[in-house]
Amino acid sequence: MARGRTTAPRDMVLGHEISGEVIEKGDDVEFINVGDLVSVPFNVACGRCRNCKERHTDVCLNVNPTRPGGAYGYVDLGGWTGGQANYVMVPYADFNLLKFPDKDQAMKKILDLTCLTDILPTGYHGAVSAGVGTGSTVYIAGAGPVGLAAAGASQLLGAACIIVGDLNKERLTHAKRFGFETIDLSVDAPIPDQLHQIVGVPEVDAAIDCVGFEAHGSCGEAQPAVVLNTAMDVTRAGGAIGIPGSMLGRTLGRPRKPPSTAISPCVLVSAGQNRSRSTPVRHP
Ligand SMILES: NC(=O)c1ccc[n+]([C@@H]2O[C@H](COP(=O)([O-])OP(=O)(O)OC[C@H]3O[C@@H](n4cnc5c(N)ncnc54)[C@H](O)[C@@H]3O)[C@@H](O)[C@H]2O)c1
Ligand SMILES: [Zn+2]
């Protein structure tokens, strides 16, 4: 969106990693109070439609007039104002807000807790979608924040070997510090061969795409579909692939309408307007 690859208008307020203090609440809000310190999950959801009740808040039916799913500060996801602002309006606050029970304790860790709104659950969801469990071998493409969150989640889920691939050496060094195996994709060696050297076979039980459509090849050239294709190559028969990375339909060769809509296959987003139930939140 920031690089002009989507239909995002020039002055759009971006950002959906929102945590803050409630400074005002709508008449219908029952369980959230002024002064509460809260995390704001980036999906906007009503909590009462069929999809929300079935835990698919990513495709809520009531928060985006153009299609299911909404999010703060995200193109084509309902027009909800993003979190790069002093104040944010949160609809359906009782459902959408996650209140930290001990405000003082939470403030001591507020920078870590901010990861709850997006990056941490995104990585975790990617690992769960890829079927990561006890003893799994996992290949994670991308050593950015989502990739590291997916790696950490895989560890929590009991994976035996977690391998993170990227072209960025500094990020790989960072990943290694946490005890993950790494693959340097700028090296001219096929990924299955590099996996073979680590786990003894050229494949893994689970792969997670934490790159999306901005993927690059080993020489640094743009190759939007390369990570998905690699994931399919290296995942064993019967394994699974999690795809939190964002996709643009047209960049993968499949035109969509509108053609520049951004989609996130693992965790979708949606948006809606119900000001009577809204709760503004101030960033700490
Ligand atoms: N589904 C969701 O809800 C959700 C939430 C947050 C982020 N995302 C998406 O997840 C993706 C990752 O987010 P991020 O913040 O970690 O991004 P990032 O740009 O910080 O990291 C991506 C990393 O991928 C690396 N990379 C590029 N080509 C590669 C390749 N072929 N193989 C392996 N690595 C490669 C880059 O060098 C970079 O380090 C983005 O597409 C983002 O939009 C989705
Ligand atoms: Zn809903």
DSSP assignments along the chain, one per residue: -TTS-SS--TT------EEEEE----TT--S--TT-EEEE-SB---S-SHHHHTT-GGG-SSS-SSSS-BBBT-TTTT-B--SSSSEEEESSHHHH-EE-S-HHHHHHTHHHHGGGGTHHHHHHHHHHHTT--TT-EEEEE--SHHHHHHHHHHHHTT-SEEEEEES-HHHHHHHHHTT-EEEETTSSS-HHHHHHHHHSSS-EEEEEE-SGGG-B-TTS-B-TTHHHHHHHHHEEEEEEEE--S-EEGGGGT---SSTT-EE-SSS--B----GGG-EEEE--
| Ligand with smallest separation from the Cα of 140 | 1
Ligand nearest to the CA of 95: 2
Half-sphere exposure of 114 (CA within 13 A, CB side): 16
Give residue 107 CA to ligand 1 midpoint distance, Å: 28
φ/ψ (deg, to 5) at 184: -90, 110
The pLDDT value given to residue 284 = 47
Cα(143) to ligand 1 centroid in Å equals: 8
CA of 221 from ligand 2 middle (Å) equals 40
> What distance in Å separates the CA atoms of residue 90 and residue 215, rounded to the nearest whole number?
33
Q: What is the mean pLDDT of each run of 10 residues along the chain (284 residues)?
A: 81 92 97 98 96 96 96 93 94 97 96 94 96 98 98 98 98 97 94 97 98 90 94 97 83 45 37 32 52
Around ion ligand 2, residues with a beta carbon closer than 5 Å are: 45-46, 49, 52, 60, 62
For residue 113, the model assigns a pLDDT of: 95
* Closest ligand to residue 271's CA: 2
Q: What is the pLDDT of residue 265?
A: 44
CA–CA separation, 52 vs 231, rounded Å? Answer: 30
Q: What is the pLDDT of residue 94?
A: 97
pLDDT given for residue 46 in this prediction? 98
| Candidate of 120, 211, 264 to mutate for ligand 1, largest count of ligand atoms within 8 Å of Cβ | 211
Going by C-alpha positions, the residue among 215, 204, 200 that lies closest to residue 248 is 215
pLDDT at 250: 54
Residues with CB under 6 A from ligand 1: 118, 122, 141-147, 165-168, 171, 185, 210-212, 215-216, 226-227, 244-246, 264, 266-267
**Quick count: other Cβ atoms within 10 Å of Cβ 69?**
28
Q: Give dist(CA 233, CA 116) in Å, integer.
A: 32
Predicted local confidence at residue 4, as pLDDT? 78
Mutate to test the pocket of ligand 1, among 210, 230, 263 (most ligand atoms within 8 A of CB): 210
Q: In what order do the strands lie in the sheet with 204-209?
A: 181-184, 161-166, 137-141, 204-209, 235-242
Q: What are the chain's domains? A: 18-117+268-282 (3.90.180.10), 119-248 (3.40.50.720)
CA of 64, nearest ligand number: 2
